[in-house]
Amino acid sequence: MKRQLPLALVFIFGIFCIFQYFVPHESSEWIYEFLLAWIYIIGILTLALGIWSLIRVSWDKVQHRRPNWQYALVTLLGLFAMITFGFDYCRSFFSSEGLRNYMFVHFFDYILIPIQATMFSLLAFFIASASYRAFRARSLLASLLLLAALVIMLRFNPYLGFVGEYMEQLATWLLNVPNLAAKRAIIVGVGLGIVATSLKVILGIERNYLGRD
Amino acid sequence: MKLKTLIVLSCMLLGGSVFSAAQEVTDATALTDTAAVAAPRPIADLFARDSENDHGHSLTLSWTISPDDGAGQMNVIGYELYRALSPDGEFELRGKFPFGAASYIDVGAKEKESSQYSPDHTDFYYKVRALTSDPEVFTDSEIFGPVQSYGQWFNTGRIPVLVFVIGFLTTTVILIRRARGGADLFVRRLPGIEAVDEAIGRATEMGKPILYVLGLGTAADIATIASYTILGRVAKKVAEYQTGLIVPCYDPVTMTVAQETVKTAYADAGRPDAYSEDMVYFVTQSQFAYVAAVNGTMLRERPATNIYMGKFFAESLILAETGAFAGSIQISGTDEIAQIPFFVVACDYTLIGEELYAASAYLGREPLLLGSLKAQDYAKAAVILLAIIGFLTMNFGLEGFKELFYISN
Amino acid sequence: MSSVGLIISLFIIGAGLLWLLILSLTGREVERRIVFLFIGLAVSVPLLFNITFSERATPIVLDVFDKLEDLPPGSKVLLSYDYGPSMAPEVEPMSNAFLRHSLAKGHKLYLMALWATGQSLVATAVDSIIKREFPDKVYGEDYVNIGFKAGGTGVLNVIITDFRKMYLTDVDGLDLDSLFIFDGVKSLRDMDVLISIGGGFPGVKEWVLFAGAPGNIPTAGGCAAVSAPLLYPYYPRQLLGLLGGIKGAAEYESELKKRYPRFETMPTPGIKMMGPQTLAHLVVMAFIVIGNISYFISRRKRS
Amino acid sequence: MEGSKRLSAIILAVVIALFLVSWIVKGLAISDSGAALWFSVRDAFFITLAAFLTLAILSFLYKDNPYYKFAEHLFVGVSAAYWMCVGFWSTIVGNLFPNISESLSGYFDVPYKGFNPFYFIPLILGIMLLMRLSARAGWMSRWALAWIVGTTSGLNLIRYLRTDFISQVSNTFVPLLVDWKGVGPFFSDLSLSASGQFTMTLANWVIFVGVFTGLIYFFFSKEHKGFFGAASRVGIWVLMITFGASFGYTVMGRVSLLVGRLTYLFRDWLGLIS
């Protein structure tokens, strides 16, 4: 029962969502809109699960003085500070409302944004080290990878204008033709994979995600 | 008069919906052209019906343009559509369009509170007014009605999708039954998956843990669901070999499911006591904070193997390069097309797109899963066949074949 | 003084690469941190010494430029900000260039956003560019900001038939009907050009598929370099032209500078960013060459 | 061991000193431009903090170190709380309360839309998911999970079948000879211009062969031998060329992100460039 009922629910809702697509009538649209709104609300509620796990793991580190426990304390401090600022509704230390709280906004602008942007910018370094390490003519496949990358890179470097118009045409052709073909093959494959897996989920064949008792 | 014709024609050539511009221009010329504008002849054959394949609240109208639109007296500059609840009731303006227009879809809102609300199952009467440059001079058409709008229960424009759904479902079910009946279904090698076992062995020898990253997908993303199966398999092996496992999560629900999966795998391996909730933990739901934390874990715990399966975005290369930095063996798989190149370049093994979905069947080797994998292959064969037919028919100008696949909104 | 510093730094980068090349001839591998160091240098040196170089617009960029140039003054240009702060360094130069070009040419500008984060970026652009550089332009007559509406492609589906079904007011709550610029404007079909900036979802592709193509309205776009290959297939039929990444922005800016003397002194973040990009790009290619040389040498040694 | 500890203590002291100096200098610079003392001290602190965190993350490129660890852990805590607060205000307050309770919406100052019992369902499902925290009622979370997975599977099935499958397949229908006007005229027009008949025809063939062999590569239930093997090998070649091209195209764009960060350091923090 603990396992059969969930599987039945998956089946019912899955089939409903499939058939909903073919029924333009208002009533089916109405249910569909509700289903979408609910998913967001549930998602937010479950964030509590995540926060709980984060607090537990961090606190566990601090309590047992595991390696790097001091940093777990930093996480907890950041978390509680931000939650305090974010839920500061009625007491209004600095401003009137949660998300517009002065400290909340400044933590966002001067802690979250800089770190986030810097993490993202690490890509500039990693893309270089990955090119250095991996773009080597080890095999036929690796050489194709290397050649295609070089053609495109030459095309977009203004210093290397001398490689001329043919390189430009070749690069554009590569992006327009083989690129399109391969992407299409992957997209069709992925699309089929998703359709087949969804079907397996709805039919209860793929059921690993429910665990077992 | 000639000037106006010229302007109207050039407006047509420009092709933009220059209704207002045309009106302004013609107004200006009307000042110089003192002769009164003659009344145009009305439009003919006004017809209205419920719009097809929708949720109602919408009517489709068509008519034959006035003989004086672009021909004859050339004095029609546009039309207005009016609607009323009875033939002699008060007519309300529903739409304006430039000359040459011969159809219109009158869409109303479905919300009762909206000012644009248009009720279903209510009789409406329509008329179309042909306008001239002189706001006083116009001609109304005959009134058409009554006509009602209503919602449909089946969208015929989506039949191609239904055909595919039914076709795919039947194929899958038939093949699954055949597989159950004992037919031997072959699956080709997937080097990325075969490497998993080897990598776990290596981790055991080195006494180092395995890092499994489920990506940024939600629990219901199909890539994540495929990833659970692989995680289950990895966790079972890890439990058997008594190696460590680290699963940092981005999504709280994904974490819940992953905990369940790992717990089950440990129980299956006969070592339920070795499972601890802390193996699978939540980090944060912010893309780069998650990456920062996983990167730190890679350099501090030095896992022997990093496995990335699921949905990945810009972080793919940051993760894979840091992993390479730490000297781990890396196996990846994603259906996110823009990220596959980065994984291919930076990881030792990569499951490309659909291979990620095939992996669960390959690992499970259950007839049920193999049967559906076979159905996927049949569908691909069908695609190839259709592409060949399309390739040929397009050349003979049989555009109709392509139209069979047309899906309306 | 700065030119001396520049020469010294470029010399260091060049000599360093040459040294690594010589090392690679002995089959030695370069450590990752050295690669990082060179990338860091290649990006900071042009930034500190302000190296720029001239750009020549490619056809795909020129097509957009010429379209805006050829439209008669007073044409209606819609600019949609479909990006957030993290994509901004790459695409903001484009939106600024479009903004300047349209206003200088005397077009009417309709600003909106399909991304929630875009709305504040529009406001910033209005304050920092329009109000400062074009003080004679009047809000509600020459330009308007109708802001963000949630719904992505749904918004497009609606405003292609009627703006007022989605947008009753502009971003400040002014009734659209009270704004002179919306006189006689019913839907997207009344626009002369649609420009979407941003390569995510919804972005240029959605503008093409849900607005440009069905409404037969010329559509142009600007997007991050990553998403450009996915958009190439739409050019030139459904997509008038495309600015891909900083390179596209820089080309557009240089064209703007060439044709409009008033923009001689305008900030050109695109062109400025090309310096670091190009140098870093060269360094990456140099490392690919070095990597292959050391690979072949060491393989020959082993065999 | 003692030596390295002392070294890191010295480094820490230097970093703190530099941070303080930068704070003071920046604060003086801002107050010079006419801002009140308290505001300039506060703004200078935040600007310097952001610069410190930027450098801390960049230091990861050299090796893992305490400064990176600090920035990383701070980032995790703050971002987790950030998303929770945003979710609470936008979804719970903005979407849920207006539909279930007048007094709550009044309290949070959002317009009340009227009582709608259907909004209790996600609330109940959400609470069911939270039941996981309890050992005995944990099984209840599966119902909610089943609901989420079932719904999204159904939606995904249709969405991908329609956009990724049917549309892509019908887009592959391209003529094998573009603008065929008979043998004579065809061979007279062999120009290499991008819109030329020959080039377009060639492109169509390449697309067709690429899709064909690419799909063959993704065949799982056939051994890749003989014709299948050859075709799948061509397929993987085409895939590799595409991956290389996409990678090459991205290199340039990624640099601009770094330019953005360095501009912050050089301009906003150090004031080296204008």
Mutation target for B interface from C70, C182, C192, C201: give the one with most B CBs within 10 A.
Answer: C192
Report, as an integer, the average pLDDT of D8-34. 90
Q: Pick the residue from chain D with its C-alpha nearest to A30.
A: D118
Do A46 and B380 lie within an 8 Å CB cutoff? no
Residue ranges per structural domain of chain C: 2-52+271-302, 59-267
Domain of residue A7, residue span: 1-65
- Evaluate whether B76 touches B131 at the Cβ level (below 8 Å): yes
> Would you state the pLDDT for residue A159?
64
Q: Pick the residue from chain D with its C-alpha nearest to C44.
A: D262
Beta partners for C219? C194
Question: Does residue C169 surpass a pLDDT of 80?
Answer: no
Question: Does residue C240 surpass a pLDDT of 50?
Answer: yes
Which chain A residues contact residue D234 at CB under 8 A?
none
Judged by average pLDDT, the poorest of A136-140, B119-123, D93-97 is: D93-97
Closest Cα of chain D to A104: distance in Å? Answer: 8
Q: Within this chain, do residues D195 and D236 fall inside the same structural domain, yes or no?
A: yes
Judged by average pLDDT, the poorest of B159-168, D182-191, D223-232 is: D182-191
Residue at D189 is within a domain:
yes
Do B15 and C184 lie within an 8 Å CB cutoff? no
Can you name the CATH fold of C59-267? Rossmann fold (3.40.50)
- Rounded Cα distance, B9 and B11, in Å: 5
Which chain B residues contact residue C183 at CB under 8 A?
20
> Would you state the pLDDT for residue A99?
67
Residues whose CB is less than 8 angstroms from the CB of residue B22 and which lie 6 or more positions away in sequence, other chains included: B7, B8, B11, B77, B78, B98, B99
C32: nearest CB among B23, B109, B325: B325
pLDDT digits 0-9 by tens, A48-96 = 889 999 999 999 999 999 989 999 999 999 999 999 888 876 544 444 4
Judged by average pLDDT, the poorest of A66-80, B151-165, C279-293 is: B151-165
Per-chain mean pLDDT for chain D: 85
C190: nearest CB among B17, B107, B325: B17
Do D161 and A152 lie within an 8 Å CB cutoff? no
> Would you state the pLDDT for residue D29?
86
C90 to chain A, any CB pair closer than 8 A? The answer is: no
Closest Cα of chain C to B325: distance in Å? Answer: 8
> Would you state the pLDDT for residue B247?
97
Specify the amino acid at residue C64: V
Do A54 and B379 lie within an 8 Å CB cutoff? no
Do D256 and C245 lie within an 8 Å CB cutoff? yes
Do D173 and B288 lie within an 8 Å CB cutoff? no
Question: Does residue B20 surpass a pLDDT of 60?
Answer: no
Tell which A residues from 2 to 21 touch D, by Cβ distance under 8 Å.
2-3, 5-7, 9-18, 20-21
When comparing pLDDT for B351 and B365, which is higher?
A: B351
Do B164 and D161 lie within an 8 Å CB cutoff? yes
C187 to chain A, any CB pair closer than 8 A? The answer is: no
Do C32 and B109 lie within an 8 Å CB cutoff? no
Phi, psi values for residue B158, rounded to 5°: -105, 15
pLDDT digits 0-9 by tens, B42-93 = 888 899 988 888 888 888 888 988 888 878 888 888 888 899 988 888 888 8
Tell me which residue of C10, C271, C228 sits closest to D251, measured CA to CA: C228
Do D259 and C48 lie within an 8 Å CB cutoff? no
Closest Cα of chain A to B88: distance in Å? Answer: 31
Do B55 and A126 lie within an 8 Å CB cutoff? no
If pLDDT is split at 50, 70 and 90, which confidence band does D233 have?
Answer: very high
What percentage of chain A exceeds 90 in pLDDT?
Answer: 40
Mutation target for C interface from D250, D256, D272: give the one with most C CBs within 10 A.
Answer: D256
Helix A26-63 with A69-86: angle, nearest 10 deg:
140
**Residue showing tokens 């690469």:** C17
> Would you state the pLDDT for residue B133?
80
Residue at A28 is within a domain:
yes
Report, as an integer, the average pLDDT of B199-221. 91
A116 to chain C, any CB pair closer than 8 A? The answer is: yes
> Would you state the pLDDT for residue B25?
42
First to last CA, chain D: 45
- Rounded Cα distance, A143 and A129, in Å: 18
Helix C116-125 with C88-105: angle, nearest 10 deg:
50
Instruction: Compute the CA torsion angle D36, D41, D43, D45 (nearest 10 deg).
Output: 180
pLDDT digits 0-9 by tens, B282-325 = 999 888 999 999 999 999 999 999 999 999 988 999 999 999 99
Q: Pick the residue from chain A with its C-alpha nearest to D53.
A: A115
What percentage of chain B exceeds 70 in pLDDT?
Answer: 90
> Would you state the pLDDT for residue C99?
93
Beta partners for C81? C197
C89 to chain D, any CB pair closer than 8 A? The answer is: yes
Beta partners for C196? C80, C221
- Rounded Cα distance, C91 and B403, in Å: 38
Residues whose CB is less than 8 angstroms from the CB of residue B295 and which lie 6 or more positions away in sequence, other chains included: B318, B319, B322, D60, D72
Which chain D residues contact residue B362 at CB under 8 A?
220
> Would you state the pLDDT for residue B350?
94
Question: Does residue B13 surpass a pLDDT of 50?
Answer: no
Residue at A125 is within a domain:
no
Question: Does residue B21 surpass a pLDDT of 50?
Answer: no
Radius of gyration of chain B (CA): 33
Which chain C residues contact residue D249 at CB under 8 A?
225-226, 228-229
- C-alpha pair distances (Å), D17 with each of B212, D23, D27: 41, 10, 15
Q: Within this chain, do residues D190 and D255 fall inside the same structural domain, yes or no?
A: yes
Residue at D168 is within a domain:
no
B286 to chain C, any CB pair closer than 8 A? The answer is: no
Question: Does residue C1 surpass a pLDDT of 50?
Answer: no
Do C47 and D273 lie within an 8 Å CB cutoff? yes
- Evaluate whether C144 touches C179 at the Cβ level (below 8 Å): yes
- Rounded Cα distance, D119 and B175, in Å: 42
Do D49 and A38 lie within an 8 Å CB cutoff? no
Judged by average pLDDT, the poorest of B30-44, B46-60, B112-126 is: B30-44
Per-chain mean pLDDT for chain B: 84
Domain of residue D112, residue span: 81-151
CATH homologous superfamily for the domain B2-147: Immunoglobulins (2.60.40.10)
> Would you state the pLDDT for residue D110?
76
Beta partners for B127? B82
Half-sphere exposure of B349 (CA within 13 A, CB side): 21
Which chain B residues contact residue C185 at CB under 8 A?
20
Collapsing DSSP to helix, strand or coil, B187 comes out as coil
If pLDDT is split at 50, 70 and 90, which confidence band does B16 have?
Answer: very low
> Would you state the pLDDT for residue C29?
85
A159 to chain C, any CB pair closer than 8 A? The answer is: yes
Beta partners for B139? B130
> Would you state the pLDDT for residue B354?
92
Report, as an integer, the average pLDDT of D16-42. 87
Residue at A166 is within a domain:
no
> Could you tell me where in chain B the CATH 2.60.40.10 domains are found?
2-147
> Would you state the pLDDT for residue C28?
82
pLDDT digits 0-9 by tens, D167-222 = 788 777 777 766 655 554 455 555 555 556 777 788 888 988 999 999 999 999 88
- Evaluate whether A132 touches C291 at the Cβ level (below 8 Å): yes
Partner chains of C (3+ C-beta pairs under 8 Å):
A, B, D
Mutation target for D interface from A18, A71, A101, A203: give the one with most D CBs within 10 A.
Answer: A71
Q: What is the DSSP letter of C144?
A: E
Q: Within this chain, do residues D216 and D257 fall inside the same structural domain, yes or no?
A: yes
pLDDT digits 0-9 by tens, D37-59 = 888 888 899 999 999 999 999 99
A149: nearest CB among D157, D160, D244: D244
Do C276 and D258 lie within an 8 Å CB cutoff? yes
Do A183 and C55 lie within an 8 Å CB cutoff? no
Mutation target for C interface from B17, B325, B342, B409: give the one with most C CBs within 10 A.
Answer: B17
Q: Pick the residue from chain C with its C-alpha nearest to D63.
A: C33
Which chain C residues contact residue A179 at CB under 8 A?
229, 232
Q: Pick the residue from chain A with its C-alpha nearest to B373.
A: A196
Tell which C residues from 109 to 168 touch A, by Cβ distance under 8 Å.
none
A131: nearest CB among C85, C274, C287: C287
> Would you state the pLDDT for residue C70?
92
Do C277 and D255 lie within an 8 Å CB cutoff? yes
- Rounded Cα distance, D274 and D268, in Å: 9
pLDDT digits 0-9 by tens, D124-182 = 988 888 888 877 877 888 888 888 889 889 988 988 888 778 878 877 777 776 665 55
If pLDDT is split at 50, 70 and 90, which confidence band does B352 have?
Answer: very high
**Residue showing tokens 């230091």:** D59
If pLDDT is split at 50, 70 and 90, which confidence band does C289 have?
Answer: very high
Tally of structural domains, chain A: 1
Residue at A99 is within a domain:
no
D156: nearest CB among A144, A180, A198: A198
Tally of structural domains, chain D: 3
Residue B404: other Cβ atoms inside 10 A:
12
- Rounded Cα distance, C145 and C171, in Å: 6
CATH number (1.10.3470, 3.40.50, 3.60.21, 2.60.40) of B191-364 reads 3.40.50
> Would you state the pLDDT for residue A161?
58
A1 to chain D, any CB pair closer than 8 A? The answer is: no
Which chain C residues contact residue B107 at CB under 8 A?
161
When comparing pLDDT for B107 and D78, which is higher?
A: D78
If pLDDT is split at 50, 70 and 90, which confidence band does A158 have?
Answer: low
Q: Pick the residue from chain C with its C-alpha nearest to A128.
A: C284
